[in-house]
C-alpha cells in the first residue's frame, strides 16, 4: 500500500511538473535561422579593383579572395593592366617599379601606421599612402599620381588629377567623422 501511494504521488507530481512547464503554442518561438555571411566586396584601397581588374569575373573573384591569396592571383594581371594604361611606366613617385607597385596594390589591405599622426597630407608625404588615410585625403588623385605621374609626379599632368578637390559636405569634428547625410 505504501508503495502504491508513493507511486501515485510520483506520477501526480511528475504530471503536475510536466503540465506546469508546458507552454501554449502561442508562446513558443522558433529559433532564428542561422545566417551565413559571404564577403561581397572589399575596398581597402578605393578604385583598385575597378581599374585593374578588367572582367566582371576577375572583379568578383578579387572581392571574395582573401588578402593572403590576392597577390599570387592578381599581381600579374594588375601589372599588365598598369602597363596597358601607362606604356611608359618605369617607376612611380615612391620609387616602385611595375612589379613591386602592382604587388602592393594586388593585396587589398589598408595598413595602419602607429607612427603617423595623420597630420600630413598625401601630397607632402606619399610614403604614408600605404599606411592609412584621413577622410579628406584625395585618394583618387594619389592613385592617379602613382600610376601616371612618373618618378617626380610631374609626368602626364592631365592624368594625375580627377579635379574633385573636396568633399561636398564638411566632415564632422567628432566620431563618426563622416559628413552628415544630404
pLDDT tens digits for 19-57?
Answer: 555 555 555 678 888 888 776 777 788 889 999 999 999
> Which parts of the chain have pLDDT scores under 50?
119-124
* Residues 57, 138: Cα–Cα separation, whole Å: 29
pLDDT at 162: 94
* Core vs surface per residue 132-147: b (16+ CB within 10 A) or e: ebeeebbbebbbbbbb
pLDDT at 154: 92
**What is residue 91's DSSP assignment?**
B
* Residues 93, 47: Cα–Cα separation, whole Å: 19
* Residues 92, 156: Cα–Cα separation, whole Å: 12
The model carries a pTM of 0.71
pLDDT at 35: 85
User: Which residues are registered as beta bridge partners of 91?
Assistant: 97
Amino acid at each position: 500500500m505504501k508503495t502504491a501511494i508513493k507511486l501515485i504521488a510520483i506520477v501526480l507530481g511528475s504530471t503536475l511538473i510536466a503540465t506546469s512547464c508546458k507552454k501554449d503554442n502561442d508562446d513558443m518561438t522558433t529559433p532564428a535561422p542561422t545566417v551565413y555571411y559571404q564577403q561581397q566586396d572589399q575596398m581597402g584601397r578605393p578604385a583598385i579593383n575597378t581599374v585593374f581588374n578588367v572582367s566582371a569575373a576577375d572583379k568578383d573573384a578579387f572581392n571574395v579572395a582573401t588578402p593572403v591569396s590576392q597577390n599570387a592571383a592578381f599581381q600579374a594581371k594588375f601589372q599588365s593592366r598598369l602597363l596597358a594604361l601607362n606604356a611608359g611606366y618605369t617607376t612611380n613617385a615612391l620609387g616602385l617599379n611595375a612589379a613591386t607597385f602592382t604587388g602592393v596594390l594586388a593585396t587589398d589591405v589598408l595598413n595602419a601606421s602607429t607612427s603617423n599622426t595623420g597630420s600630413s597630407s598625401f601630397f607632402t608625404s606619399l610614403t604614408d599612402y600605404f599606411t592609412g588615410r584621413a577622410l579628406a585625403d584625395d585618394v583618387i588623385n594619389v592613385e592617379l599620381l602613382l600610376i601616371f605621374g612618373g618618378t617626380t609626379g610631374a609626368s602626364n599632368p592631365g592624368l594625375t588629377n580627377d579635379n574633385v578637390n573636396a568633399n561636398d559636405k564638411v566632415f564632422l569634428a567628432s566620431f563618426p567623422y563622416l559628413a552628415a547625410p544630404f
